[in-house]
Structure 1
Amino acid sequence: MDVMAKNKKVIKFIIADDHILMREGLAKIISMEPDLKMVGEAADGAQAIELARNIDVDIILMDINMPNVNGIEATRVIKKEKPHIGIIALTIHDQEEYLFELIRCGISGYVLKDVSPDDLVKTIRGVAAGQSFIPPSLTTKVFQEFNRLANQRDQQHRHYGLTDRELDVLHQVAKGLANKDIANVLYISEKTVKNHLTNIFQKIGVNDRTQAALFAIKHNLVED
């Protein structure tokens, strides 16, 4: 037992897994720790969502492949409704596509089912304290993926050749503002706005402001 656990508050957790033996085994191991208390178990993602809505819980151990509603969708719903709940994905899959999707959904931990009991307990406590955990074997892949996406966005902006000011104008167009209002917001003349729009239309290959707005939204060229 972690000596520091004596001074910590009780961490309430739920186990979501469609295999009853897995749930019972995890519950037995984790509940041996005095600061960890199971407050519910779910056999699929739908049950996990319902429990999260109705029970005071700190951590959910979430299997990925479950019937009805899988762990990825359950995580997406729970993090949207209860963002304070820490979700740890439990999986037999050492595959980055699961990890990337789960990170986008808001998980705080990703643990393979062959993890040692001590490491699982440490992960639960760490996530409850606001930390995140990704297996060292996948950390490099995560950084590579995030760098790839960042470079992709940069290349996209460079590809269309839009300047920062043109992106500012396009953002206002996407918000539905008229040229006069855009001029007031950006502290430029209405004529300058028109010139920017002419350049924008030419660069992204559209003929009017409606098409420009739709293009900008579709290609993530403007912020929400």
Structure 2
Amino acid sequence: MKVLIVEDDQFHATYLQDALAEALPEVTEILHAIDGAAGEEAARQAEIDAIVMDLQMVRRNGIEAARTIWAERPQCRILFWSNYADDAYLRGIAQIVPEDCAYGYVLKTASRARLKLALRAVLIEGQIMVDRELHRLQTRGASPRTRLDESEFDVLVDLALGLQDKLIAQRRGMSLRTVQNRLLSLYEKLGVISESDVGLTLNKRVRALNRALVTRTINIETLEAAQRDLETWMADRG
């Protein structure tokens, strides 16, 4: 069994190699790619079916690399690991993972024992595994009352790209009224409406984007991927 590590930090790559050797005696070869672009090529050339993927890398992030790899190898099992518990990363992964494909998400702060458990569960046993600590961090930062649902998140992303309400409605297949209702809802959940209640005169769209970035509801990787999707959608419209 061949496993590919996609990690731009050599210390972390070495740590992963050691953990893989301890946890997965089935592994016959461990390959290393230094960024997402190199990871895509390695997965293609070596016909890799199991990957440990960093999320933040200088050249091509883990979400985009996984999107390409899964498009070519939909049964490839990927364990993502990251320093960040961003909701945007989990949403991004959920949007691109193929049906019935095993994947996982573990924080780099997890214990070695926890990492080894995740490696075996995802790469060997084909389970879906998201670190409990990740769920705890998310729960601590967002209650059901403040967590955006998928349609609200889609509207937020389009708002961040600079789309006006009518174009958001066309892109998402919503009525204009529905888009406006989603905007009001996400303003409330992001705390923008409460700011206006204390006498502040602010641009709600800009404040919503600010709050989404501060709370890590979206991140730069989300926006980069969304921009590419928008360009594709606009090109298809002619």
TM-score (structure 2 length as normaliser): 0.54
Q: Is the 8 A contact 1:13 1:60 kept in 2?
A: yes
Gaps in structure 1 of 5+ consecutive residues: 1-10, 154-204, 206-213
What are the Cα deviations for residues 51-107 of structure 1, in whole angstroms up to 9, with x where unaligned? 111113232111111122111110111111111111111101122222221222227
CA drift at 1:120 = 1.6
- For 1:31 and 1:137, how far apart are their aligned partners in 2? 24
Q: Is the 8 A contact 1:109 1:132 kept in 2?
A: yes
Q: Is the 8 A contact 1:87 1:108 kept in 2?
A: yes
The change in CA–CA distance for 1:217 and 1:125 in structure 2 (over 3 A counts) is farther
Letter in 2 for 1:32: E
In structure 1, the partner of 2:78 is: 87
The change in CA–CA distance for 1:137 and 1:52 in structure 2 (over 3 A counts) is same
Q: Would you say how many aligned residue pairs link Structure 1 and Structure 2?
A: 153
In structure 2, the partner of 1:16 is: 6
In structure 2, the partner of 1:7 is: none
- For 2:4 and 2:172, how far apart are their aligned partners in 1? 39
Taking the TM superposition and a 5 Å limit, the aligned residue runs for 1:1-224 are: 11-33=1-23, 34-106=25-97, 108-128=103-123, 129-139=125-135, 141=138, 148-149=149-150, 218-220=171-173
Greater relative contact order (Cα 8 A, min sep 6): structure 1 or 2?
Answer: 2
In structure 1, the partner of 2:228 is: none
The worse-fitting range, judged by mean Cα deviation, of 97-106 and 135-144 is 135-144
Letter in 2 for 1:110: Y
TM-score (structure 1 length as normaliser): 0.58
Structure 1 consecutive aligned stretches of length 4 or more whose deviation exceeds 4 Å: 140-147, 150-153, 214-217
CA drift at 1:146 = 8.9
CA drift at 1:147 = 8.0
In structure 2, the partner of 1:159 is: none
Q: Is the 8 A contact 1:31 1:38 kept in 2?
A: no
Q: Superposition RMSD on alpha carbons, in Å?
A: 3.2
Asked which structure has the greater CA Rg, the reply is: 1
What are the Cα deviations for residues 110-130 of structure 1, in whole angstroms up to 9, with x where unaligned? 111122222222212211322
- For 2:53 and 2:127, how far apart are their aligned partners in 1? 17
Q: Is the 8 A contact 2:17 2:30 kept in 1?
A: no
- For 1:105 and 1:61, how far apart are their aligned partners in 2? 16
